[in-house]
Amino acid sequence: MIGGKILLVSVPSINVPVRVFAPGGTEPELSNFTLEFTLDPDAASVRSMRSAYCAEERCFLPSGRPAELVFEFDNPTGSFDQGLVFYRLGSQSFGMTNCSGNACMSSALVACTEGSEVQLAITGRGGIPSQEDSGYPMIGASETLMCDAQAPRITSVSVLDDLESLNVVRENAPAQVRVVVQERNPGATVEVVLEESEEVFIGACAPEGDGQVCVAEVSFGEGPKTEKLTVRVKDVVGHAVEREVSVLVLEYRETDVAPEFFRVDVHADRMKPQSISRPMLAFTNEAGLAYPVYIPFELVALRSGAFPLRVQMRSCTYERDGERVGGGFFSDVRVADPTPRPGEENRIDLAVKGMSGFLL
């Protein structure tokens, strides 16, 4: 309607000439120009509305701090630059703060309970419906957001390389920072910051058991040194938790002469069991089983401060009738704890093949 006149048009656009006169409508003419109007025949609909915190096709909402919301509309001929779109989040109503073309963004703060569902819906305000710039009312829509009100909780942090010794790594070797966290929602990430170099390594988190495990690949550079690092886990909405860890980075040298750092005391007199009966060996042999035997041993440090990173069994022999025989009698020989500490009792686990007529 222009000047009290209703224009009925059937073409996509029209040009309307405008002449401006002084009050009273008398000459002379003050100005004249032409206005171009493009018709908008389509009502707008919501293509999507979500928070800025989405993972695995689910969007989340933080509690007690501003949440960024994104709205996208389908409207081939219209726009939303005037921002006449209103929405309800939970029990509160809000208006758009930034619209351009067929998209709007807004920020809203609500309080919610961990794990609860919060409704996001297009509404009106003060009797005015949400509408596009041409005045077409919006087609209503709603979406459900999941409340994330709690920060993750770190259960443990371990740093390992191929030595498999907790928080002890070789220089210039690839290592892995593994963080176990209590967090129910997907989308969490881990960030590892090295204090010395200020390098940052990013990793992802994945469900495991009742929580999640976050993994980042890290390199600590030259040793020997003690490297301090900060492990920071962020959940999908940005809650963060940190823990500091110290890692011993060892200098690595190759040598043809093995230094004598330890003595191994094997307590053969405490082997269990002390003997295996012939019927038992015959039974395990027929069943295709190996009979378990273990022998306690201790590592004795010969140099102050020396400790082993890993102990492996390379070979094993046994004596029969006073003669040393090869290790074919054992189907499996291993150290129970491959990362022992000096002075702590460990054991050699033996799996004995059934050989009838043999008595330990």
Distance CA 323, CA 39 (A): 104
Q: Among 116, 148, 180, which residue terminates a domain? A: 148
Tell me what pLDDT residue 327 has: 53
Residue 342 three-state SS: coil
Tell me if residue 239 falls in helix, strand or coil: coil
Domain membership flag for residue 196: yes
Domain final residue, candidates 110, 125, 148: 148
Q: Say if residue 132 is in the same domain as residue 173.
A: no
CB half-sphere exposure, 135, CA atoms < 13 A? 2
- Rounded CA-CA distance 173/247 in Å is 13
User: Which residue type does 30 have?
Assistant: L
Domain assignment present for residue 95? The answer is yes
Structural domain contains residue 36 = no
* d(C-alpha 154, C-alpha 241), whole Å: 7
- Is there a domain that residue 102 lies in? yes
Please name which of 193, 284, 206 lies closest in space to residue 245, comparing C-alpha atoms: 193
In a domain, 335, yes or no: yes
DSSP structure class, residue 130:
P
* CA distance readout (Å), 328 to 192, 277, 331: 48, 19, 7
Residues 143 and 157 in one domain: no
> What pLDDT is attached to residue 360?
42
- 166 and 105 in a single domain? The answer is no
Q: Within this chain, do residues 61 and 125 fall inside the same structural domain, yes or no?
A: yes
CA distance 244 to 247: 10
Output the six-digit token pair for 13: 């656009």
102 and 57 inside one domain: yes
Q: Are residues 159 and 126 in the same domain?
A: no
pLDDT in 10s for each residue of the chain, 360 residues: 455 555 666 666 677 787 777 776 666 776 778 877 666 667 788 999 999 999 999 999 999 999 999 999 987 777 888 888 999 999 999 998 899 888 999 999 999 999 999 999 999 888 888 988 878 888 778 999 999 999 999 999 999 998 777 888 989 989 999 999 999 999 999 999 999 899 999 999 999 998 999 999 999 988 889 999 999 999 999 999 999 999 999 887 766 776 788 888 988 889 888 887 778 777 877 887 878 888 999 988 888 777 777 787 777 777 777 776 655 567 778 888 887 778 888 998 888 775 544 444
Evaluate whether residue 298 is within a structural domain.
Answer: yes
Q: Is there a single domain that holds both residue 194 and residue 118?
A: no
- Provide the residue range defining the domain that includes 99: 45-148
Same-domain status, 144 and 157: no
Residues 162 and 136 in one domain: no
Q: How distant is the alpha carbon of residue 44 from its chain centre?
A: 37
In angstroms, the CA 167 to CA 165 distance is 6
Q: Residue 11 falls within a domain, yes or no?
A: yes
Written as six digits, the tokens of 264 are: 């191994």
Q: Is residue 359 part of a domain?
A: no
In terms of domains, do 166 and 226 share one?
Answer: yes
What's the chain's Rg over C-alpha atoms? 37
pLDDT of residue 241: 97
Angle at 268 between CA 267 and CA 270, to 5 degrees: 75
As a whole number of angstroms, the distance between CA 154 and CA 232 comes to 9
Scanning the structure block, which residue is given the tokens 């992802």?
A: 204
**CA torsion, ordered 132, 133, 137, 139, to nearest 10 deg:** -10
Q: Are residues 144 and 51 in the same domain?
A: yes
Q: 11 exposed, middle or buried (CB, 10 Å; 0-12, 13-18, 19+)?
A: exposed
Rounded distance, CA 301 to CA 337, Å? 17
The domain that holds 85 is classified in CATH as 2.60.40.10
- Total tally of structural domains belonging to the chain: 4
Residues 288, 231, single domain; the answer is no
